[in-house]
Amino acid sequence: MAEEGVQRRLAAILAADVVGYSRLMGEDEAGTLAALKAHRAELFEPKAVQHHGRTVKLMGDGELMEFPSVVEAVQFAVEIQCAMRDRNKAVPEGRRIHFRIGVNVGDIIVEDEDIYGDGVNVAARLEGLADSGGICVARNVFDQVKGKLDLSFEHLGEREVKNIAEPVTVYRVALDDKAMALVTPVVQASVSAVRNRWPVLAASLAVSLIAIVGFVWWQPWVPPVETTFVEKMPPPLPDKPSIAVLPFANASGDKEQEYFADGITEDIITELSKFQQLFVIARNSSFSFKGKPADIREVARQLGVRYILEGTIRRSEETLRITAQLIDADTGTNLWAKRYDRPLSEIFAVQDEVTQEIAATLASSVKKADLSRAARKIPNELTAYDLVLRAHELTERSLSQQSVLEARVMLTKAIEIDPSYAQAYVRLGRGYYRASVLQWDGPEALDKAFEMAQRAIALDSSSASAYDFLGRIHLRRHQHDTAIATQKKALSLNPNRADSYSSLANTLTFAGDAKEAVELVKKAMRLDPFYPPIIDMYLGRALYFDKLYEEAVPPLETCAARAPKFRACYMFLAPVYAELGRPEEARRVVAKLLEVAPKFTINRSVRTHLPFVSDAMQHYIQGLKKAGVPE
């Protein structure tokens, strides 16, 4: 029977140690202690809060930490070591503090606030195997992290370590560009995070504060004419993704650069505001938090938003570094983070590029987060916005006839709830459009789609998605020039909308301009890292029509791997292999195409799917014949 107060659990354990601590202390004891204290307060502690870690104990030059997630533990270790490189740059070589870090997953014994056991011992031994400024992890850590964090690892083999019976398989984490890309800005620990360390004190303080605040708010000594409680409440969350962009911090150490950080922030706010599906807090409100220590959840509550974007900007004589992270204020989790390092030689082009990429990526990240949130709601809580989200998710997952019909029901209901919701008409029209393309419905389906697009534009003439969709309908009617002009109008309304670039690329491919289409698809991929498999197909198809057959293989194979039942992947991969003189691969792809679409023939494909101009159509037909597709 276990002793009272002792428990066991599985945890990720991190051990960190200062390299050459005795030498540093011998040369400058006060300076070393001050520097170490600063690193812990300014880096370790806020990063621990960010990654839900707990400092178990400090041991002079060492630190033992516990994390509920091995992914969080490794990300914490990577961010610490990458950040220490920057922090050490201004320090003389002999005075720099370097850490070694080891990470293990194992069963631990918990007694009061301390932890013991082999899991802890292995983490300490891994730390001892790490290079100065490096990270070593156990095999079980590697197995759980690979595929979840974009990192490179070096297998160091099995190592015999002190006081551990079995050899430990060790991996070194490569602190390369991929690791640097995972680094996010430091967010100082919130009050709630600090309270967790002293729960009894926090509870008593909370009770006292509640009593004091309640008494002050009531103010029995003044007449009852104070502003109503409703007016004091923070604004409610809007019925679509809502975001505030906090002023990016100037990390250059030069007050004169404040204008530049502010300018980047304002540009991001402007670009985000072009996305009609987002609710973006105006610059004036966001900048009211400039220079103030921010508790992200409190900021979000005051502004009435779900998501917060924050970051830092460091400008030197030759380079520009921008870090940004998107936070779900409801849960405190990081949804997305990235660091941009660019030369300063073309500063305005760099500013535009980074601003556009952040804006488009954020729009995709926020949409993904809200899709997940809507999926968790119960039916009687659904709004028009939720129904549109669910319909979108359904058809993204499967473009089967059943999925499209189910989505049509949801979207019709959304329009009943809110007849002025332009995006609902766009989505409903897309269902009719697909029914027309695949001949699930008669010719009237395309007319219905056209009607939906026209209604959406009448309701919102600034809707890029509505013009984009209308362009697709013009393309389907073989009105190539009108389609191109309409989709360019969509891009003029929102030049950061990835879908508009891919739609225009699709139209240009059919119109015979595959070379320009290739560049537009690549732009769409850069703007939307979460792009669906159809974008792989768009790229491969454009490369095929540009006769870059070798380059067309990877995206089309990727499309088939990501969406095995999507016939278009195989429709263009088969002729690609045929043109490359690889008949076995072509036959394999044709077999898969006929498995997915048993009635597929060349004539049926030409008749029902593809509004190509004449030369492109002939090229496609000849490729299908070479591949052995039935006529």
**453-477 pLDDT, tens per residue?**
999 999 988 888 899 999 999 998 8
Q: Is 20 helix (H, G, I), strand (E, B) or coil?
A: coil
Q: Are 329 and 299 in contact (CB under 8 A)?
A: yes
Q: Is 228 helix (H, G, I), strand (E, B) or coil?
A: coil
What's the CA gap between 519 and 501, in Å, rounded? 9
The CATH-assigned architecture of domain 533-631 is Alpha Horseshoe (1.25)
What's the CA gap between 234 and 610, in Å, rounded? 52
Over the range 431-446, which residues count as b (16 or more CB within 10 Å of their CB) and which as e?
bbbbbbbbeebeeebb
* Strand pairing report for 242-245 and 279-280: parallel
- pLDDT at residue 208, rounded to an integer: 30
**Which residues have C-beta within 8 Å of that of residue 89, sequence separation ≥ 6?**
none
What's the CA gap between 71 and 470, in Å, rounded? 44
Tens-digit pLDDT profile for residues 57-89:
887 678 999 988 888 999 999 999 999 998 888
What's the CA gap between 604 and 439, in Å, rounded? 11
Closest CA to 95 of 168, 153, 20, 154: 20
- pLDDT at residue 499, rounded to an integer: 84
- pLDDT at residue 234, rounded to an integer: 52
Q: How many beta carbons lie within 10 A of that of residue 83, not counting itself?
A: 19
- pLDDT at residue 374, rounded to an integer: 55
> Residue type for 446, please?
L
Q: Are 116 and 144 in contact (CB under 8 A)?
A: no
What's the CA gap between 470 and 383, in Å, rounded? 26
- pLDDT at residue 362, rounded to an integer: 66
**Which residues have C-beta within 8 Å of that of residue 41, sequence separation ≥ 6?**
none
10-residue mean pLDDT profile of the chain (631 residues): values are: 58 91 82 87 88 83 87 93 90 89 88 79 89 92 85 86 78 90 68 34 30 30 29 56 85 72 76 72 77 79 84 80 83 77 69 67 64 53 70 71 86 89 89 84 88 92 89 91 93 81 92 92 74 89 94 92 89 94 93 91 77 86 92 86
- pLDDT at residue 571, rounded to an integer: 92
Q: Tokens 């070591």 — which residue?
A: 81
- H-helix or E-strand spanning residue 602: helix 602-608
* CATH code matching the domain that covers 6-181, chosen among 3.40.50.150, 3.30.1360.120, 3.40.50.80, 3.30.70.1230: 3.30.70.1230
* Residue 63 exposure: Cα atoms within 13 Å on the Cβ side: 22
- pLDDT at residue 214, rounded to an integer: 31
Q: Are 493 and 506 in contact (CB under 8 A)?
A: no
Q: How many beta carbons lie within 10 A of that of residue 225, not counting itself?
A: 5
Q: Is 538 helix (H, G, I), strand (E, B) or coil?
A: helix
Q: Where are the domains of the chain?
A: 6-181, 191-232, 242-364, 533-631
What's the CA gap between 122 and 120, in Å, rounded? 6
Q: Are 117 and 108 in contact (CB under 8 A)?
A: yes
Enter the tokens of residue 277: 């599906």
242-364 folds as: Rossmann fold (3.40.50)
**Which residues have C-beta within 8 Å of that of residue 7, sequence separation ≥ 6?**
109, 110
What's the CA gap between 189 and 50, in Å, rounded? 8
What's the CA gap between 169 and 155, in Å, rounded? 8
Q: Are 608 and 437 in contact (CB under 8 A)?
A: yes
For residue 193, give Cα distances in angstroms to 58, 145, 197, 275, 573: 18, 26, 8, 34, 53
- pLDDT at residue 370, rounded to an integer: 62
- pLDDT at residue 397, rounded to an integer: 64
Distance of CA 77 to the CA centre of its chain: 21
Distance of CA 388 to the CA centre of its chain: 21
Distance of CA 110 to the CA centre of its chain: 35
Q: Are 102 and 127 in contact (CB under 8 A)?
A: yes
DSSP code for 61: T
What's the CA gap between 264 and 248, in Å, rounded? 8
DSSP code for 246: P
- H-helix or E-strand spanning residue 600: none
* Cα dihedral value 516, 521, 526, 530, nearest 10: 170
Per-residue H/E/C for 346-392: CHHHHHHHHHHHHHHHHHHHHHHHHHHHHHCCCHHHCCHHHHHHHHH
Q: Is 105 helix (H, G, I), strand (E, B) or coil?
A: strand
- Residue 314: strand pairing partners: 321
For residue 371, give Cα distances in angstroms to 31, 390, 463: 51, 7, 20
Going 594 to 599 to 600 to 603, the CA torsion angle's sign is positive
- pLDDT at residue 199, rounded to an integer: 34
* Residue 432 exposure: Cα atoms within 13 Å on the Cβ side: 23
Q: Are 448 and 438 in contact (CB under 8 A)?
A: no
> Which stretches does DSSP call E strand in 132-218?
135-138, 153-159, 168-173
- pLDDT at residue 187, rounded to an integer: 64
